[in-house]
Chain A
Amino acid sequence: MMNKLVLFISTAAIFWSCKPKIKEQTISKGELDVSSFVILGGAQASGYMDDALYFEGQENSLANLIALQLTKAGLPNFHQPWVNEGSVGIGLTGLAKLYLNYKTDCKGVTSLSPLRTSPIGDGSIFSSSIFSSSQRFGNYGVPGLKLLDVAQQNYSAQNPYFSRMASSSSASVLEDVLSTNASFFSVYLGVEDVLDYAKSGGTIQNLPSQTAFQNAYQQVLEGMTANGAKGVVATIPDLTKMPYFTTIPWNGLTLDEANNTTLNSIYNPLGYYFNVGSNPFMIVDSTANMFAVRQILSDELFLLSLPLDSVKCNQMGVLFPIRDEFVLDQGEINELRGKINQYNEVIRNLASQFNLAIVETGSFVQKLSDGFTYNGIAISAKFVSGGAYSLDGIHFNPRGNALFTNEFIHVINQKFNATIPKLNAGQYRAILFPN
């Protein structure tokens, strides 16, 4: 009996171990030389997210994630200008990173909302230089870095994110990047050049000319490819598809019978009419009439910077029209998209001239805007719940960066006959919800 039992158990063990074998996957770098990698870009490349540069964001930066996959194809090392792990981070306006928690609004309603983890950002990260000539950085994603400033001498004086990582106070970003002598590079510049305009509701008018853009981009690519390096560039996405511009509805003004009557009596003489239910907010427009006020149109956009408590409790958007800095009107949207198209034309031409792979970021941002399913996860451009954008509504969260990285890997593989694996974006976090 005992023998039979032993026989049965050992037979069972044999059956149990009858498993399909894992085949060796062939990861090939194709025509690439991956002995070193550098990325040059703005906030999106740096790991900036939740409106701050902080450790976890850097861990999941576009730069670090591309490097992580290149490591599988032989990249020996990659260094980032790390912020301390415990730091609350610091944003371009000096504030700490955002997180999701409960907030009670002016009407006493409590709901989930992005909040700052600390009253002020961690300015200490700017106080010392972390440059080391023996461990050159691979991540030259610098929050706020404009293409047009990339060759600017003494750029440290202008941008503290660069000053902490610069080789010297007189250095330009481009000169530091070129001294890495990288064998493979990525350039994702231009977003910061259009971001001021978009985030200020068109009130900061500093969009460069196409020629200036062309000259600066060409200078960058000539430098990067001088040693024969191959690379990947990326176009500029349509920012107006991002949650920063799409979250607050144009027609969020809900009126009851009494308010409806009041508003009609005030605005009917100007030719604006209201109904019970949802209505367009009133915005400032100096060209509209002598009172410089009109209803917002359905294809115009409110910015996430709009002070919602003023809207809810202090008649903003009703008796007090919403100021220009919180609105992208039709003219501004056209101006912004027109310029982005011009710049993208430049980037596409140069990519082909320098024989580079190119990521069409506009298609990716549009795909997010339309929504899609990734390995069973519904992904969209919806604020908080969409799962791709961080709480600042412009920069991606770790999962968004992982998906974005896959777009880069896709074109790199295509262009250079490589088979670098993509990331499992599902294992990267999206927005964390309080317990």
Chain B
Amino acid sequence: MRKILVFLTVLLSTSIFFCQGFQVNFQGQKQQGMGCAGTALYQDGASIFFNPGSVAFSNENSINLAVTPIFANVLYTDSSTMESYRTNNPIGTPFSAYGLFQLKDYAKLKFGIAAYTPFGSTVVWEDNWIGRFALTRLKLQAIFIQPTISYRIADVIGIGGGLILALGTVELEKDIPVQDSSGVFAHAKLTGKARAVGFNFGVHYDLTKKVTVAVAYRSQINMRLNEGEAEFTVPSSLDANFPDQQFTGSLPLPSVTTLGLAYKPSKKVSCVLDINYVGWKVYDTLAFDYETNTSSLADTKSPRNYHNIFAFRGGLAYEFNKFLTVRAGGGFGFTPVPTSSVTPETPDANRAYVTGGMSVHLNDQFCFDASIYYTQLQRTATNGETNLSGTFETKAIAPGFAFVYKF
């Protein structure tokens, strides 16, 4: 058990740069190969995340373990000084683990269990960068654990739902613009833990032998930090102004509603299309409420004013033979972040991305999946709170791997 925990902890830090805002959509290698879409196509245990309704069309006991290292780099060029600064982010490693079970072959009732990291990031900006008073480092970690039940109502209709237990931690650091007698800037570190509950459900309906429609919904989850720790490193003459103390805050994770389509023109070819509607509007303010306020330390309410957004994802798969399947896809998502809310922790923009992938079926029991994702984006903005004004450029590449074992 301890080993599993260590394993999970190592894998927990994922990156912000995927899918809009701080949401990560790397929860299934086969889906990632097809543009992160697949709500209406049952392929493997990852459907527990994408659409529990599709799980009803599985016929297996299986375990699916996947990881997607993310290599992301941001360059910020300040419009006023024309100077550039980079992030030194550690490699993000979103992972997913799925287990599918049925009591007997072709059972109508399926059981699933999943653990995955649907959002998170570690952003580390280079030392002394121009935005140091906005952010120097942010580490968001979350793991969702989701027991799931699916039921095949009829030969063409499946429904399913899961309960989501969300566990998260956040560490936020920035410099404070007061200096000690040798000129060293003060520093703030806020850390906190949150637990929350949510759910997902989905419906899968085979319109014809070739066409499937699906609807999936994942609920909004409010991550509340109730006993956050605020730690200030300040010149001793200002200790009274910056007492170490507890704080509260919250971070809403948006609901996602997906309409999925799948089309199988032949036995060898599958096409998928997902349209996501993401309820980012819930993220209107990032507030930190300190237990003790002083003349130098007020509660903060940073406007975020995110918009609900649509994202479009699609892809196709071609089965060369019973050993090899190849995939390709891409997508486009609007950014939920208004210009005045662009921050060094989410330098988000409208984005297009491309993906590719393959599966190698070693035998009836083992399958190896791989995928790759690439995106680049750019956003020029002036933050309404800090007045930091410049251009963020992001490049990211994410190769993913999975092992699927059926028994």
Contact = CB atoms under 8 A, between A and B. Distances in A.
Contacts of A374: 387
Contact of B386 (A112, A376, A430, A431): A376
Given A20-B376, A22-B84, A432-B179, A12 B69 contact: yes
B177 A430 contact: yes
A3 interface: no
B244 interface: no
Interface string A395-435: 00000000000100000000000000111101101111111
Interface string A55-85: 0000000000000000000000000000000
B177 A20 contact: no
Interface in A326-384: 372-378
Interface string A1-29: 00000000001100110111111010100
Given A19-B395, A376-B386, A426 B75 contact: no
B77 to A, nearest CB: 7
Contacts of A422: 80-81
A376 B86 contact: no
Contact of B80 (A23, A102, A373, A421): A421
B178 A376 contact: no
Interface string B124-144: 000010111110000000000
B81 A15 contact: no
Interface string A211-242: 00000000000000000000000000000000
A376 B177 contact: yes
B80 A376 contact: no
B352 to A, nearest CB: 16
B229 interface: no
A22 B75 contact: yes
A406 B73 contact: no
Contact of A19 (B75, B296, B385): B75
Interface residues of A, number: 37
Interface residues of B, number: 45
A391 to B, nearest CB: 13
Interface string B373-407: 00010000000011110000111110100000000
A321 interface: no
B388 A432 contact: no
B82 A25 contact: yes
B385 A373 contact: yes
Contacts of A385: 296
Contacts of B74: 20
B266 interface: no
A426 B180 contact: no
Contacts, number: 110
Contacts of B238: 433
B73 A435 contact: no
B77 A22 contact: yes
B394 A20 contact: yes
Nearest to A26: B82
A42 interface: no
A12 B78 CA distance: 29
B293 to A, nearest CB: 15
A15 B71 contact: yes
Interface string B58-90: 000000000001010111011011111010000
B388 A375 contact: yes
Given A15-B71, A424-B81, A432-B183, A377 B177 contact: yes
A19 B183 contact: no
Nearest to B389: A375
Contact of A433 (B132, B235, B376, B385): B235
B183 to A, nearest CB: 6
Nearest to A72: B82
A387 interface: yes
Interface of B: 69, 71, 73-75, 77-78, 80-84, 86, 91, 128, 130-134, 174, 177-183, 234-238, 296, 376, 385-388, 393-397, 399
20 contacts: A15-B69, A15-B71, A15-B397, A18-B71, A19-B86, A19-B395, A376-B174, A377-B177, A385-B296, A421-B81, A422-B80, A424-B78, A424-B130, A427-B128, A427-B130, A430-B178, A430-B179, A433-B181, A433-B235, A433-B238
